Amino acid sequence: MSENIKNEEYNPDIVTLSDDEGKEYNFEILDAIETDTARYLALLPQYDDPQAMLDDSGELVIVKVGEENGEEFFYEIEDDDEYETIADAFVDRLQDLFEIDEK
């Protein structure tokens, strides 16, 4: 009797964001939330250097997704109440998978 073993590789969704000076950073998309008015992503920084990964605070980066001319863009959430609401929703959804320290 032969046993079929499925080879499932983990292939995370990675996005690259640039800061104001053009420096690029890679992030893994951990989760997405869609509301009636917008879509949001919870991102985790990715590093090539293992020491940089250890030095990282481990905080999620939360962005708002917008669309212009058929292209997606990621924006900082400027409204504090909107940010808190979305951040709390991500914590609720991700706390079973990750150790989350709520400050």
Extended beta strands in 1-103, E state: 14-18, 24-34, 39-46, 61-68, 71-76
Strand partners, 28: 14, 44
pLDDT at 6: 54
Question: Which amino acid belongs to residue 20?
Answer: D
Asked whether 60 and 53 are in contact (CB, 8 A), the reply is no
pLDDT, tens only, 44-92: 888 777 776 667 666 789 999 998 898 888 999 999 999 999 999 998 8
Task: Give dist(CA 44, CA 87) in Å, integer.
Answer: 13
**Highest mean pLDDT range out of 10-14, 40-44, 54-58?**
40-44
Task: Give dist(CA 45, CA 28) in Å, integer.
Answer: 6
pLDDT at 1: 42
pTM, two decimal places: 0.74
pLDDT at 38: 93
Strand partners, 40: 33, 64
